[in-house]
Structure formats: C-alpha cells, structure tokens
Amino acid sequence: MTLAITAVLTGTGAMAQDASVAPHCGTYEVITANRLAEVVDVAPEGVSVGDQRVGSHDLTAADGTVVGKSYWATKVADTSNGVHTLIGDANHVYENGTLHHNFIYQLPDPLKPEIPKDLQSFDYHVIGGTGEFAGAEGTAYYSSDSDGNRIIRLELDCGS
C-alpha cells in the first residue's frame, strides 16, 4: 500500500500588524495554540516506527495576538526504552516571511508512567526562510509554562 500525504501552506487570516509583537530576525518568542494533529498509524497497530503525524497550530505573541501558523509533519524513528523519537519538518508562516525547521524530538511513552517525563527533549534547527527570514539560520528552543502552554524561543541569524 502506498500512502501519500500532501500539505498545503495557506495564509493564516488576520495576523498581528504591530511590529512590537511581529516575529523578526534576532531573538523572539511565540506560544503555540489551537493544535490540530492527525496520526497515520502503520502496522503494527499502536505507536511504532514509521507512524506519521501531521498537523498545525497557531503561533501567538505573549498578549495572545495570533502572529503566524506552524505546519509540521513527523515520522516515528524509534520507540525503544519507552521513549518515542520523532524526526520531522515544520514551517512557520508569518506575514513578513516563513521559516523552515528540521527537528528531532523525544517524548516519553504516555502509556508507560514509569518513564520520567523529563526525558522529553526538542532539537529544532532553522535552516532557511523567505521574506524577512531569507537565509535564516538558528535554533528553536521549546519549553512549557506553568499552564502547560508550549513556548518557542527562536534565536535567528538572518545574515543582515
């Protein structure tokens, strides 16, 4: 069986016009919101190597203003030792340009409570962009606040 997944990047509707909250080269933070994900489960049933996840989420400024959208796709690369290792790509789409990321992340198996949750790690590398982010390089650091929101701190060098 052949499975094809197609992703279409579209505009995000009304986004921030205020330069104080707009993403930019250098260092900035966004918060993920309204996550939508779909899982493609390949044999064997359950989480296994080759499973795919595709999705999107809004990117907001600290004040809740939507500043962009993230589109992503992952593939499970390893499930040993109670930790799921995923590899993938993501695109952040903003009014002033886009950013492209490659990433690897590890998530403790939620069905194995004995696995420490602090084993979760994210390693995102920005490898290019368009518009204001043309030629961008850098790193995205992920963390969570006390309310469980995922915060992304981007440190970008756009070569300007």
E strand intervals along the chain: 26-40, 52-60, 66-78, 83-94, 97-108, 121-129, 137-144, 150-157
Superfamily of domain 27-157 in the CATH hierarchy: Allene oxide cyclase-like (2.40.480.10)
Confidence of residue 60 (pLDDT cuts 50, 70, 90): very high
| Strands 137-144 and 52-60, sheet pairing | unpaired
Confidence of residue 160 (pLDDT cuts 50, 70, 90): low
Question: CA–CA separation, 86 vs 9, rounded Å?
Answer: 22
pLDDT above 70 for 130: yes
Residues 93, 69: contact at Cβ < 8 Å? Answer: yes
